[in-house]
Amino acid sequence: MPFLGQDWRSPGWRWVKTEDGWKRCEPFSPALEDGNNQLNDISHTVIITGDDENEEVYNTEDCEFAAKKRKKDHFRNNTNSQCFYREKWIYVHKESTKERHGYCTLGEAFNRLDFSSAIQDIRRFNYVVKLLQLIAKSQLTSLSGAAQKNYFNILDKIVQKVMEDQYNPRLIKDLLQDLSSTLCILIRGVGKSVLVGNINIWICRLETILLWQQQLKNLQMNKQVNNGLTLSDLPLHMLNNILYRFSDGWDIITLGQVTPTLYMLSEDRQLWKKLCQYHFAEKQFCRHLIPSEKGHIDWKLMYFALQKYYPIKEQYGDTLHFCRHCSILFWKDTGHPCTASDPNTCLMPVSPQHFIDLFKF
């Protein structure tokens, strides 16, 4: 009798267990077939081991069993034969149909959208970190066991990337701070809140987070040795244009600490005024005018004051997109099998908060 998977029209798939959970793999591949042919030869031989006194002969059935076990181990360890979710998209369905049973979950989305690889892309790194930060603040108690494992595996890879590449440590520090604060509250309130899993596992996770925080605190930036053109060698108008491309006030302040020239440019009132106008409406900052000693508006203080009252615009190099026609969530550059006559009219960018809302049932 054939095996029927969730989709009754297909024969089911072969799955393999990895550190990120169970993943679908390709049933056949030339690399695996060559390995199987070599292992098949073992089942037709008789293996003799040991000394003359303790000689042990394995019959054909034992050899076949050993060969099957080696095939299984070879299949698990041979990464060339694995093909995990070549399509980087997921169908977001909120109700069961004849073809689809059950619901898609956050844990499934982590795997199908391949967040582990997404963090290696500099365009998607900030998006994934922001998403994990929102989950840490509001959705941590609703994660299943598989989703928890995927979440902390991705978080571990993010920390290791920051430690190796020293890329945007401030962002991951904020994430770990929010995550540790949430876990401390939940662990203290055991019985009042619902945490899926053993409390000792969560305590170990909290200890790991504290260790990561200490490692990031002790992180020393490597000084780049370069005899070529540096940032300080650029003309003033180019440096000014670079500062005007930043959408985060803290990034402007950090860059202003590099050289006296950059500090002078980072204190420009017009720069902070443009930043306020980009993130906030005129009605919002008119309610919180902060005059300076000279009687002018202090736009720098205005920005950080408004940030406490209103959310700032989110800006990412690459985001997930949702196709309203197909109900498919995907990375825009990977695409998806759209059946619409004009796919571009059906696309909608998905913010990290919107992503979480899609999986709230």
User: Is residue 273 situated within a structural domain?
Assistant: yes
Residue 227 has pLDDT above 80, yes or no: no
Q: Are residues 256 and 214 in the same domain?
A: no
Give the structural domain span for 270: 248-309
What is the DSSP annotation of 16-52?
EEETTEEEEE-S--HHHHHHHHHHHGGGGS--EES-S
- Beta pairing partners, 25: 14
Q: Are residues 162 and 262 in the same domain?
A: no
Q: Are residues 130 and 205 in the same domain?
A: yes
CA distances from 29 to 21, 36, 82, 143 (A): 22, 11, 8, 35
Looking at the structure of the chain, the number of domains it has is 2
User: Is residue 151 situated within a structural domain?
Assistant: yes
Q: Are residues 293 and 203 in the same domain?
A: no
Token reading at 269: 């009132």
Q: Are residues 197 and 141 in the same domain?
A: yes
User: Is residue 292 situated within a structural domain?
Assistant: yes
Lowest mean pLDDT among 10-24, 104-118, 266-280, 347-361: 10-24
Q: Are residues 126 and 170 in the same domain?
A: yes
Calpha distance 83→26 (Å, rounded): 5
User: Is residue 210 situated within a structural domain?
Assistant: yes
pTM over 0.75: no
pLDDT tens, position by position, 232-252 = 888 899 999 999 988 888 889
Calpha distance 136→163 (Å, rounded): 21
User: Is residue 167 situated within a structural domain?
Assistant: yes
Q: Are residues 211 and 254 in the same domain?
A: no
Report pLDDT for 73: 56
User: Is residue 197 situated within a structural domain?
Assistant: yes
User: Is residue 261 situated within a structural domain?
Assistant: yes
Q: Are residues 118 and 170 in the same domain?
A: yes
User: Is residue 265 situated within a structural domain?
Assistant: yes
Calpha distance 75→334 (Å, rounded): 28
Q: Are residues 144 and 187 in the same domain?
A: yes
Q: Are residues 144 and 203 in the same domain?
A: yes
pLDDT tens, position by position, 7-58 = 444 455 666 767 777 676 655 444 444 544 544 444 443 333 444 444 444 4
Q: Which residue has the tokens 């993943």?
A: 23
Report pLDDT for 266: 92
Q: Are residues 132 and 209 in the same domain?
A: yes
Q: Are residues 206 and 302 in the same domain?
A: no
Calpha distance 6→25 (Å, rounded): 16
Report pLDDT for 314: 80
